[in-house]
Amino acid sequence: MLSAVLVLCTTLAFSQVKTITGRIIDQSGAPVPFVTIHVKESKQAVSADAEGTFAIKAESSQTLIITGTGFETKEVKVGDQTSLTIQISKKESNLTEVVVTALGIKQERKALGYATQQVSGASLVQADANNALSGLGGKVAGLQISSSTGTPGAATYMRLRGVTSLVAGQPLIVVDGVPIDNSNNGVSLGNVAQSNRAIDINPDDIENVSVIKGPAAATMYGTQGSDGVILITTKRGAKARGGNRFDITYSANFTFDNVNKLPELQMKYSQGYDGLYNAPNSSASGRRLTWGALIDTLKWDGVATEWDPHGSIVGASDPTGKTKVVPYNNAKQFFRTAFSQTHNLSLSGGNDFSSYRFSFSNLASSGIIPVSSFNRTTFLVSGDTRLSDKLKTGATVNYIVSGGNRVQEGSNTSGIMLGLMRTPTTFDNSNGASDPKDPRAFLLSDGNQRTFRGESNRSGGKYDNPYWTINRNPFRDKVQRILANAYLSYDPNSWLNITERIGVDHYGDDRFQSFAINSNAYPTGQIDYTNISNTIYNNDLLVTATHNLTDDLKGTLLLGNNLYFTEFNQNNLEGDGYVAPDYYSLANTSSQLASNNYQRTSRLAFNAQVKLDYKGYLFVDGGIRAEKSSTFISYAVPYPSFVYFPSAGASFVFSDAFNMASKVFSYGKLRFSYGQAGRLPGIYGTTNTFAGTSVVALADGWTSGISFPISGQQAVFGNGLGNANLKPERTSSIDVGTELRFLDNRLGLDVTYYTSKSHDLLLSVPISPSSGYGSYYTNGAAMQNHGLEVVLNATPVRTGDFRWDMNINWSFNRSKITALAPGVSTYTITGFTGALIENIVGQPYGIVYGTDFLRDSKGNLIVSDGQDGTPAGYPIAGTNSVPIGNPNPKWIGGWQNTFTYKGLSVGFLFETKQKFDVWNGTNGAMVYFGTAKVTENRGASYTFPGVLGHADGNGNAVVTGGANKTPVVLDQGWYSDYIGNSFTGPAAQSVEDGSYVRLREVSLGYTFNTKSWRIHNVIKSLTVTAIGRNLWLHTKYSGVDPDTGLGGSAGLGIDYFNNPGTRTFGFNFKIGL
Amino acid sequence: MKTLFQRLAGILLVVVVLASCKKTLFPAGINTDPNASTKDRLLPNVLLPGAEYSIAYTVGGDVSRFTSVFIQSVRGAARQFKAYDQYVFTAQDFDNCWSNFYTQGLNNLYTLKELAVQNGYAHYSGIAKVLLAYEVGLASDLWGDVPYSEAFRGDSSVLQPKYDSQQDIYDSVFSLLSSAITDLGAADSQIEPGDDDFIYGGVTDSWIKLAYSLEARFYIHLSKVDNSYADKALAAAANGFTGNSDNAAVPFFDDGTEANPWYQYVTQRGDISYDDGYLYQFMSSKSDPRLNAYFDLAGNGIGDAIGAYNAPVSLMTYSELKFIEAEAHSAKGDGQETAAYNAAVGASFDALGLNGSTYLAANPLTGADHATRLQTIIAQKYVALFSEPEPLMDWKRTGLPALTATTGANIPRRFIYVQAELDHNGNNVPKGLTLFSNSWWDK
């Protein structure tokens, strides 16, 4: 609760007295803040500051005593020294956990009225997570980490205690006190898997991550805090270890990735229709499907063609048939084992007054899809120096270059999985080529594309051969980013601290995409250049004053000012129609389109907070945040006014208050907090506009459409309606919890219950299109969340050199949309016609909404009696959309174990998400096309369980009989031609439970005792670790790894030809020099 | 140190105070979207192209595909269109179509009309009214009762417009057209349409002819409900198109982003077939020379007349007008129907660069009574107007050609009300209607 304050109790002056400055560190060399240093012979005492540094007056003959909760007391003779580095040892299970809280303020954990959880940097990188956020998965109660897809650089999404907004916001990420951008620019249902920008942070530079859960704790971030805050502290320099002028650490990872799970394909039936084989180069429309002949009845004629080196396929009785047809496994052939490597080099050092750290890292990863890659290079320099005993300053500069080759995915005719999973098993996409770059796989001699649906330019509806996509439809991106900050911390006297911190986050993201001539989506070819630049400037001025009101009561007043500016610009250049082939330049296109999007915002905020500390066991705080933002400005409101967010909290360490600590019961605390936080309206949301300068396009959901200008003429259409009277979204939450420790701190339990209510949620209310406009922007919606988080820490075994540490975290969150806007009952987040991710009043956040089979009021399937003209014995398609799945897990959890014995360390982390639905549209389409494994039972007889009935004229169910007893045939007629698939039939049949348990991380490491080595003066330490990620996955989900999401952080629950997930194993070497 | 601190504190104070000042932090215009325009800054020449292309892309796209499947000019062969072929439609399937009508074409036209009327741009006003009449009339022909009198007023807080009865819509359509004819006959104003008008390049005489021709179309729709429909249609037609050069169509171009909607559908989706459709079978039974223009006989596509990348989307043709005249004359029994019929069929061939005389000789208009003659007239109109929504309207009025449902007993007559309207304007959406329901003029 002290924020960098030196407390001088007495100032007795003796002639021999000198000022001693020093630094307290722990065994690992990390600074230990806030411990008390007092002179044994006098009453003089000081506290170390947040960085563990102190200054005290003492005589040479005197002794300093260092005491800190959770540390062994240490005595040090002053002697001749004037500058000291004092190492102290932790007691088992350190209680004086110091956590980084809002605005970078370090506080003792026991004073906090809200739940927070820490993850060390070492834990993030222990199993080589390339994305710092994915390294958090399974480690924090209440934090749901989700992957988008398994391609390199693909985004990782966070949800902390659910979401508090209609289109899921994610927690704010703050690095060294400066908010950074974590956008997932360009995310879409059918493009490439883009990165979330926090991927630019090198996980190896992270000292620790502090997860500030829920708005009660995040009030100080006002309109950025409602989804919680992830505070990242980067490593700082420290005085080198014994004998070194500086320390060098080098580590390297070498890992291999494989596909961990794919949808199952049927291998029994050929390309074709109605049980007949249709060749890829035939004109039969049945060639698009895999409802052909039993492969056992087919032969190759041995005359090689461009379509198949084994020859054309003929019936077994055809005399030209030579060899039996053997099905191809296109998926197995396509994916590869990917190799990645990471190198980290860091150098740090310093003296008693200054320290510095430099780090360089390079990640070069390749993906399981040939040519896919993601690379990241980072340079980070940081330094801190004490200019005087009152003034301290420091700065950090982090330069990052990242990007790679991305591949098309999802709902996109160039999507890798879409083309791959629809390919009949009698067609070899690779055409026998083993090199994925070999053009014979995807190119015909006449220059047309080789796909299983033939080459005719007018046959339509083709999918790009995956080999075509990786070779001819490239997507590259390159991000260059600077994260920089500098601070000045001044202590004019013992009770006052003034800290000024300025930071900037700027990046430029250059993207290139091309579709070659004869690509399906753009038969004449297309090239796109996108340049994004984004800048955040943040300035914080913090004044902290501390005063001992009485002997028992200490008060702290915190005042803060924040200035925050953002600037975003995106330029798009599109060239259409390549003139010459194999020349991928704008200059080679027959027409060009250009557009841009510029956005600028500014924000001013003040924070005030009062904290009271009674006897070190009762803590009470209250605060308020006032904020004004440019996004409220409209014609009606020329200048924004302040909006306010209050907070209050209390922490009671009852074990200290009542001296309850014993051998069995070590520590007990109750906490409570209340707070509000919010979210700003989107930019330019206050005005009605007609789109003009960006590309105006027309489409209809089937085709890519047309774009203006056409023949030099531009066009505009009305945008969604604005609203001049916007308010911020507001989330109020209450967080109550307890922390208990037992058995000499070997067992710790932390339980939190929270509830939050969000209102004035902003939405573009879809309105009746006949109003002339598609939507209007307003504060209308409300939702609530509540949940429980349990964290259990234990050291079940601690004998001699052997130690077993365990951490279990378990949490659930329940959300409910309580209101949308007048007249609005559903609100679409993302998705496809027929299977949308939707907010519906009375339902949890973001459920799957689509059509189902007709059911009676009890939910029984209606099996057609034939009276409405539908085929008797089969289910009937319902016409209206209903909630059909809930993608929010019932609960999530992680179980982390670490075993150490001397130099040996074994760690594993199990992670689970239970009972969440995924719409497996991949399978739905594969059933339609006849490639799904389930269609292997074609021809089987089946009695649909349900009651007989039909649909009336309004589409409502009419029950006419009892249970259905008539068996029908499951054949192409049902699966493909009729509604037995979610591609053309009801979406509900593809909703599956995605529940999984996975071995998310494994590490097996050995630290060599280099002290005995002759080269110890060169190699100070050496650790070799075998690592694995996702080595084991248990799920009933029939598609790819269910930890997948196509529509961005808000649209979890959709699997439509998502690229598959991976399992990783490899090695890590870490050397200290 | 004091001085350093004082200097730093001074600078900080200045920064905070300056930055907190309204004008530095929140300069005028910071929240004004530089990427978009506002209604008060619009000019007619950015509203009209959007409206024309929205009409063309929607009418030549969803409307053409759905109505062609209804009347079996094409069949749905795969994926979603396989379901449509079996009349499995959900309310969501028509969302794009409705929203393109109302938020793009009609809203732009309404905005253009208001702007033009306010500023005295008479010719823009006339064009806006002709196209408004065309599109809202078509919306009503497709759905029945639709919003018009309260529509397009979202920016005046009318978010749930009422549905006007089809009869009221038709009143509005005729009044828009007659007012348009007046406007188009007015003197030039300050701002005149030109290259921004892709249909007629701003030529007002052509627009006047289209207005009269559309009157004729909408009057003939009333054959079941208005006894004077034939006289009214003929009176209007007299001032309508005089040749194929008057045809109203929106052009498409040789480019990846300016390509015809059928072309895009066939190349990107292609889930339709033609050889099992009524149209193909009817035409091949007569060895119709237009087959090659209509269908891509080598593949499963649509022919170049309709589905080339640069094929125009037709709003109304001279041929249609002549068929309307033929029907009206036949109904009156004034003996002038054959001339009109011959002109209609001939114009259809002419437009494709073909000579129709041999075909006409083999397929003359015969019959002693109107009902008999009507069969030939409508059958030939059905062929001539392939890909346009009019054949559906004709089938609804006349039951011609005699089609058999692909499944069940009924053939769809209308689009169902869309999910977005059910969700957001549910109280106003007429209840109890299905794909097979009748409307006011479609008794």
Cα A153 from Cα A366, distance rounded (Å):
10
B418 CA to chain A: closest CA distance, Å? 10
Output the average pLDDT for chain A. 90
Q: Which chain B positions have a beta carbon within 8 Å of A597's beta carbon?
A: 35
What is the pLDDT at residue A11? Answer: 34
Please judge whether A688 and B39 are an interchain contact, meaning their C-beta atoms are less than 8 angstroms apart: yes
Which residue in the set A523, A689, A712 is minimally distant from B267, CB to CB? A523
DSSP codes joined into one string, B176-244: HHHHHHHHHTSPP-SS---TT-TTTTT-HHHHHHHHHHHHHHHHHHGGGT-TTHHHHHHHHHTTS--SG
Q: Which chain A positions have a beta carbon within 8 Å of B106's beta carbon?
A: 772
- Searching chain A, which residue's CA lies closest to the CA of residue B259? A706
Count of A-B CB contacts under 8 Å:
346
B77 CA to chain A: closest CA distance, Å? 9
Which residue in the set A523, A639, A710 is minimally distant from B53, CB to CB? A710
Say if CB B303 and CB B296 are below 8 A apart.
Answer: yes
What is the pLDDT at residue A335? Answer: 96
Q: Does B411 touch chain A (CB under 8 A)?
A: no
A1010-1069 residues touching B, CB cutoff 8 A: none
Please judge whether A713 and B154 are an interchain contact, meaning their C-beta atoms are less than 8 angstroms apart: no
Q: Which chain B positions have a beta carbon within 8 Å of A825's beta carbon?
A: 423
B220-279 residues touching A, CB cutoff 8 A: 252-259, 261, 264-271, 273
- Model confidence at A895, pLDDT cuts 50, 70, 90, reads very high
Which residue in the set B31, B49, B300 is minimally distant from A713, CB to CB? B49
Say if CB A780 and CB A821 are below 8 A apart.
Answer: yes
Q: Does A716 touch chain B (CB under 8 A)?
A: yes
Q: Which chain B positions have a beta carbon within 8 Å of A413's beta carbon?
A: 268
What is the pLDDT at residue B56? Answer: 97
What is the pLDDT at residue A15? Answer: 42
- Where do runs of H (alpha helix) occur along A813-870? none
| Mean pLDDT computed over A80-95 | 71
Q: Does B430 touch chain A (CB under 8 A)?
A: no
Which residue in the set B49, B89, B409 is minimally distant from A715, CB to CB? B49
| Mean pLDDT computed over A19-39 | 79
Phi, psi of A43 (to 5 degrees): -95, 5
Which residue in the set B79, B253, B264 is minimally distant from A984, CB to CB? B79
Which residue in the set A596, A716, A985 is minimally distant from B47, CB to CB? A716
- Searching chain B, which residue's CA lies closest to the CA of residue A698? B54
- Searching chain B, which residue's CA lies closest to the CA of residue A634? B31
- What proportion of chain A, given as a percentage, has pLDDT over 70? 96
Cα A809 from Cα A807, distance rounded (Å):
7
- Searching chain B, which residue's CA lies closest to the CA of residue A691? B36
- Amino acid found at B405: A
What is the pLDDT at residue B12? Answer: 65
Q: Does A935 touch chain B (CB under 8 A)?
A: no
Q: Does A458 have pLDDT greater than 50?
A: no
Q: Does B404 touch chain A (CB under 8 A)?
A: no
* Best mutation target, A282, A390, A601, A768, to test chain B (most B CBs within 10 A): A768
Please judge whether A772 and B102 are an interchain contact, meaning their C-beta atoms are less than 8 angstroms apart: yes
- Model confidence at A3, pLDDT cuts 50, 70, 90, reads very low
Q: Does A523 touch chain B (CB under 8 A)?
A: yes
Q: In tens digits, what is the pLDDT along chain B, a chain of 443 residues?
A: 456 666 666 666 666 665 556 677 888 888 988 888 888 888 999 999 999 999 999 999 999 999 999 999 999 988 789 889 999 898 989 999 999 999 999 999 999 999 999 999 999 999 999 999 999 999 999 999 999 999 999 999 899 999 999 999 999 999 999 999 999 999 998 899 999 999 999 999 999 999 999 999 999 999 999 999 999 999 999 999 999 999 999 999 976 788 999 999 988 888 899 989 999 999 999 999 999 999 988 766 899 999 999 999 999 999 999 999 999 999 999 999 999 999 999 999 999 999 999 999 999 999 999 999 999 999 999 999 999 999 999 999 999 999 999 988 899 999 999 989 998 899 999 999 999 999 999 98
Please judge whether B268 and A638 are an interchain contact, meaning their C-beta atoms are less than 8 angstroms apart: no
Which among A307, A302, A304, A334 has a CA at the least distance from the CA of A318? A302
Please judge whether A770 and B80 are an interchain contact, meaning their C-beta atoms are less than 8 angstroms apart: no
Please judge whether B257 and A640 are an interchain contact, meaning their C-beta atoms are less than 8 angstroms apart: no
A296 CA to chain B: closest CA distance, Å? 27
ipTM of the complex model? 0.91
- Model confidence at A190, pLDDT cuts 50, 70, 90, reads confident
Q: Does B143 touch chain A (CB under 8 A)?
A: no
Which residue in the set A460, A700, A771 is minimally distant from B151, CB to CB? A771
Please judge whether A706 and B22 are an interchain contact, meaning their C-beta atoms are less than 8 angstroms apart: no
Which among B357, B328, B353, B355 has a CA at the least distance from the CA of B340? B328
Which residue in the set B38, B264, B425 is minimally distant from A770, CB to CB? B425
Cα B266 from Cα A271, distance rounded (Å):
21
Q: Which chain A positions have a beta carbon within 8 Å of B253's beta carbon?
A: 710-711
Q: Does A549 touch chain B (CB under 8 A)?
A: no
Which residue in the set B77, B256, B296 is minimally distant from A577, CB to CB? B256
Which residue in the set A283, A576, A877 is minimally distant from B256, CB to CB? A576
B300 CA to chain A: closest CA distance, Å? 6
Which residue in the set A461, A631, A977 is minimally distant from B31, CB to CB? A631
Q: Which chain A positions have a beta carbon within 8 Å of B303's beta carbon?
A: none
Tens-digit pLDDT profile for residues A37-62? 888 887 677 878 777 888 888 888 88
Q: Does B435 touch chain A (CB under 8 A)?
A: no
Which residue in the set A631, A702, A833 is minimally distant from B265, CB to CB? A702
Please judge whether B103 and A769 are an interchain contact, meaning their C-beta atoms are less than 8 angstroms apart: yes
CB atoms within 10 A of CB B14: 10
Q: Does B8 touch chain A (CB under 8 A)?
A: yes
3-state secondary structure A33-68: CCCEEEECCCCCEEECCCCCEEEEEECCCCEEEEEC
Q: Does B78 touch chain A (CB under 8 A)?
A: yes
Q: Does B300 touch chain A (CB under 8 A)?
A: yes
Task: Classify residue A861 by its DSSP letter.
Answer: B
What is the pLDDT at residue A93? Answer: 47
SS3 of A29, please?
Answer: coil
Q: Which chain B positions have a beta carbon within 8 Å of A278's beta carbon?
A: none
| Mean pLDDT computed over A475-479 | 97
What is the pLDDT at residue A10? Answer: 32
Cα A584 from Cα A525, distance rounded (Å):
9
What is the pLDDT at residue B41? Answer: 86
**Percent helix, strand and coil across chain A, each rounded to 5?**
10, 50, 40
Going by DSSP bridges, is the β-strand pair A156-160/A475-493 parallel, antiparallel, or unpaired? unpaired
* Best mutation target, B106, B424, B429, to test chain A (most A CBs within 10 A): B424
Calculate the dihedral angle through the C-alpha atoms of A404, A410, A412, A417, rounding to the nearest 10 degrees.
90
A603-622 residues touching B, CB cutoff 8 A: 604
Tens-digit pLDDT profile for residues A915-961? 999 999 999 999 999 999 999 999 999 999 999 999 887 778 999 98
Q: Does B341 touch chain A (CB under 8 A)?
A: no
- Please enumerate in sequence order all residues whose Cβ is within 8 A of that of A438, keeping only pairs 6 or more positions apart, or say none: A430, A467
Is the peptide bond prior to B401 cis by the omega test (within 30 degrees of 0)? yes
Residue A363 forms beta bridges with which residues?
A342, A376
